[in-house]
Structure 1
Amino acid sequence: MTRQSGLPEPKFNITFLVMLIISGLTVLTNALILAGFYFQRKLRNYTNYYIMNIAIADLLVGLIIMPLRSLTFLYGTWIFGHTGTVFFLGFQNTLQSVSVFGVIAICLDRYIATFYPIEHFQRKSIRKATLVNISTWVISFAVWFLVFSVWDLMAPNYTLTPSGLFKPNYSLRKSTVILVSIFRALGPFLMICGLYIRIYLRVRSIGKRPISTGLETKEICKSVAPVRQRENADLAYVSSAQDRDKDIDDVFKNPEGKVTSLGQAISDKPSIPTDNVPDIDVSNDRSRNYRPSMENTSSPRRIIGKSSKADGASMKSQKAMRTLTLIVLAFLATWLPNAVDLMVQTVSKDHYDIMNEIFPVSELFRWVTYCNSLINPIAYAMAQPLIRQTVLRILRCKRSH
């Protein structure tokens, strides 16, 4: 980046100090989240790969964007010239778009898991999450660097903002301001809110019972049905065998006139066909009250296993919903002011400029948006106890188990 000639003297102030503190906390919290993913294997699941992608973008916001932006409070203006402005704004908007698209990806994933649980279970994979994460970077980079940054480099304008940065070309035309506003804030804001409301209403309509419970119940019924059919078939088989025993008893009598057991008679008379004769001792009266034991089947074990899997699925679903709720709340709290700022700029640009001359509202709202990168990792730790425990182990220099 090239510096302007006649660089002003830096003037240290409390605002610059606050900005540096926010920047440092953003880097620290997101670095701890990423370190937790590295050291704790249990955190490397499908849903958390989306969180990791957002954490990378938020880390870069705190590491690059916040410190450079805070220099305008130290020097009172932007000190890196027009080319520096173009690359800074392109990189800033790319990172923020990756974070926003990451939230949309999580909302869409939860929406599919809520309304189409079987398809979601069959198709989810780490590879799919990785491809979605890569696409958020490709789309963001293509829009902000290949479209708007190239436009500013090819046809530069030298109109300054109150903070000292040069205005991008899209901000000089109402049509492009509306387009950027929809793509950057208003569209994602409405999409995230709409998806979350639909998910919330769906979960509320089915109560606290997880969606997978109904599916597991059907599977349990399907596994029990063949057992009952086999039981009925065995009872019929025993009844028919007992009727045949009366005829067989007359054949296998020893010289004393005593009836031997069917098993002994078969062993003494190998010439008698035995393929269709059940191995039942007819001299034992208990065989007439024979009932197939469920203990000898594998179905109870399978049912118990599915029940435990259903409980595990319920816990994962609740954790994912809690994580989504906190991420969406963080997004609304930090991006709503920016969305309002863009709406005012779109509707009445003259009043917007006058308002910023009196008080730098846009700069304040921009830093509120930056704070989303600080709040996100806090939301992850609040939503997932394992993340919180792993981070505490890292801070205490203890190895994760």
Structure 2
Amino acid sequence: MNTTDIFTEVNTMESTFIGFNSTTTMPSVPRKLGPNNQKIAIAVTVSFLMISANVISLVAFIIEKKLRTYNNYFIINLVISDLVAGMLLTITVAHTIIGYFPFSMNFCRVYTALRNASTTVSNLGMVVICVDRYRATFDPINHFTSRSKRKAVVMNGIAWAIGLGFWLSYATGWDFVANAYNTRHCVPGYSFRLIPAILPIFLQVFLPLAVVSFLYLKIYMKIKKTMRGRNVSQMFNLRSCVQEESAISNASIITIAGRADLPKVAVGGMEKDIGKSLQGTLEANDKQRKTPKKKTESKSTPQESTGEMGKATRTLLFIIISFFVAWIPSSIVAVIFTINPILLHQGFFTSIWYIFVAWLTYANSFLNPIAYSVSQPLFRKTVFKILFHPLSACRK
């Protein structure tokens, strides 16, 4: 689902409508003559921001090897999908400028699927990250021992397979089989029916949002519960500190006992060296005390570091916020418009609001790189180096 598939305009109360969604239905209406400068400015700006932000992000991952961690392989997938969406959007920008789709109808059918698939992969990538974070939080040992960069690539590949498979069959396949007339504005055939038009909106937006919201809430509650338990851990740490101090004292006594010239005492007709006896007793006790500690240390469980888990969780939170801001308003408007377009031709929904909401979904693709920078200091440092010291960044 995308909000700029239909570029047919309606002259109602001197306002112009730009189609909200590839799943939007509207009748054939004569176009308003003359270019819409506001629409062109927004289209060009959004496309430029999408491409430039994700190109810089991809370069950052290429030149900084420390960024290519298991968790960031999912971020790299988001960068690639958002970059592909931005590059494909240039055709939509051309459509906006000249007022009609500039290529053939067959190309339109394939293009619709590819553009929708790229944004779908980005949304699925968010779900994959959330599922991975959920497992890392609730099953940290198995998650840590089973994770690998190859596994991350496979999971990302599944997201691409689902996105491309769905849209190539739902949009492209449908139109070729039904020989749909896509109009001069490249309107997909399924968008002329109510249920097929609304279905992708729920599958691509509302369903992923529901899944990630539920999982992230569980993750947050688990982390909060763990953080509360740290007070108890500190009490046990205090106890261990006392034991360590006692061990140090014993070691000192052992050393003194071994070096001191203590008198020998006659016990049962035999002389005994008090110093050696005391030293032997303390050494035996010290060995008994250390034995359980060694066993405990050998059973330390491998799992993510606190810093690594914190960065991954923060990144996920910012990605979810970006998704919500970019997709929800336009998706709600798209559903309303699909059901009854007249409902939107009232009140404050003027031409500029239609255009703004229509292109808002693509803001997600350049808000994601901002989320990476905010949550990961090394990524932010690398981006600043690329922007302000490109030569030194390239030498690295």
Same-fold status (TM-score > 0.5):
yes
In the alignment, which residue of structure 2 is the partner of 1:194?
A: 214
Question: 1:60-209 maps to which residues of 2 (within 5 A)?
Answer: 60-65=84-89, 67-158=90-181, 160=183, 165-207=185-227
Moved more, 369-378 or 149-158: 149-158
**Contact residue 54 and residue 102 of structure 1 kept, 8 A:** yes
**Contact residue 185 and residue 338 of structure 1 kept, 8 A:** no
From 359, 362, 368, the equivalent of 2:360 is 368
Instruction: Specify whether residues 131 and 169 from structure 1 end up closer, same or farther in structure 2 by C-alpha distance, changes over 3 A only.
Output: same
Q: 3-state DSSP class of the match of 2:305?
A: helix
From 56, 66, 72, the equivalent of 1:48 is 72
Instruction: Specify whether residues 288 and 13 from structure 1 end up closer, same or farther in structure 2 by C-alpha distance, changes over 3 A only.
Output: closer
Instruction: Specify whether residues 209 and 72 from structure 1 end up closer, same or farther in structure 2 by C-alpha distance, changes over 3 A only.
Output: farther
**Contact residue 336 and residue 344 of structure 2 kept, 8 A:** no
**Contact residue 157 and residue 167 of structure 1 kept, 8 A:** no
Report whether the alignment pairs 1:33 with 2:57: yes
The amino acid of 2:108's aligned partner reads T
Instruction: Specify whether residues 296 and 392 from structure 1 end up closer, same or farther in structure 2 by C-alpha distance, changes over 3 A only.
Output: farther
For residues 363 and 153 of structure 1, what CA distance do their matches in structure 2 show?
Answer: 30
In the alignment, which residue of structure 2 is the partner of 1:387?
A: 379
For residues 35 and 368 of structure 1, what CA distance do their matches in structure 2 show?
Answer: 25
**Contact residue 42 and residue 356 of structure 2 kept, 8 A:** no
| C-alpha deviation, 1:22, in angstroms | 2.6
CA RMSD after TM alignment: 4.0
For residues 153 and 84 of structure 1, what CA distance do their matches in structure 2 show?
Answer: 11
Question: 1:279-298 maps to which residues of 2 (within 5 A)?
Answer: 284-291=276-283, 292-293=285-286
Deviations 1:357-383 (A, max 9, x none): 974866543311111111100110111
| C-alpha deviation, 1:115, in angstroms | 2.0
| C-alpha deviation, 1:38, in angstroms | 1.3
In the alignment, which residue of structure 2 is the partner of 1:254?
A: none
Instruction: Specify whether residues 302 and 340 from structure 1 end up closer, same or farther in structure 2 by C-alpha distance, changes over 3 A only.
Output: farther
Instruction: Specify whether residues 368 and 290 from structure 1 end up closer, same or farther in structure 2 by C-alpha distance, changes over 3 A only.
Output: same
Sequence identity percentage: 27
Moved more, 201-210 or 33-42: 201-210
| C-alpha deviation, 1:385, in angstroms | 0.3
With the length of structure 2 as denominator, give the TM-score of the two structures: 0.71
For residues 359 and 115 of structure 2, what CA distance do their matches in structure 1 show?
Answer: 12
For residues 305 and 316 of structure 1, what CA distance do their matches in structure 2 show?
Answer: 23
Instruction: Specify whether residues 80 and 361 from structure 1 end up closer, same or farther in structure 2 by C-alpha distance, changes over 3 A only.
Output: farther
**Contact residue 294 and residue 300 of structure 1 kept, 8 A:** no
For residues 139 and 301 of structure 1, what CA distance do their matches in structure 2 show?
Answer: 49
| C-alpha deviation, 1:353, in angstroms | 8.2
The amino acid of 2:157's aligned partner reads I
| C-alpha deviation, 1:317, in angstroms | 1.6
For residues 174 and 112 of structure 1, what CA distance do their matches in structure 2 show?
Answer: 38
**Contact residue 94 and residue 144 of structure 1 kept, 8 A:** yes
The amino acid of 1:201's aligned partner reads M
Deviations 1:302-337 (A, max 9, x none): 989999x88x71111211111111111000000101
| C-alpha deviation, 1:13, in angstroms | 3.2
In the alignment, which residue of structure 2 is the partner of 1:22?
A: 46
**Contact residue 109 and residue 188 of structure 2 kept, 8 A:** yes
Instruction: Specify whether residues 386 and 295 from structure 1 end up closer, same or farther in structure 2 by C-alpha distance, changes over 3 A only.
Output: farther
Moved more, 383-392 or 358-367: 358-367
For residues 135 and 112 of structure 1, what CA distance do their matches in structure 2 show?
Answer: 18
- Could you tell me which runs of 5 or more consecutive residues in structure 2 were left unpaired when the two chains were aligned: 1-31, 251-266
Choose 1 or 2 for highest CA Rg. 1
Report whether the alignment pairs 1:327 with 2:319: yes
**Contact residue 38 and residue 352 of structure 2 kept, 8 A:** no
**Contact residue 30 and residue 59 of structure 1 kept, 8 A:** yes
Instruction: Specify whether residues 304 and 39 from structure 1 end up closer, same or farther in structure 2 by C-alpha distance, changes over 3 A only.
Output: farther
Instruction: Specify whether residues 360 and 16 from structure 1 end up closer, same or farther in structure 2 by C-alpha distance, changes over 3 A only.
Output: closer
Count of residues in Structure 1 that have an aligned counterpart in Structure 2: 332
Q: 3-state DSSP class of the match of 2:180?
A: coil
With the length of structure 1 as denominator, give the TM-score of the two structures: 0.70
From 306, 315, 327, the equivalent of 2:307 is 315
The amino acid of 1:171's aligned partner reads S
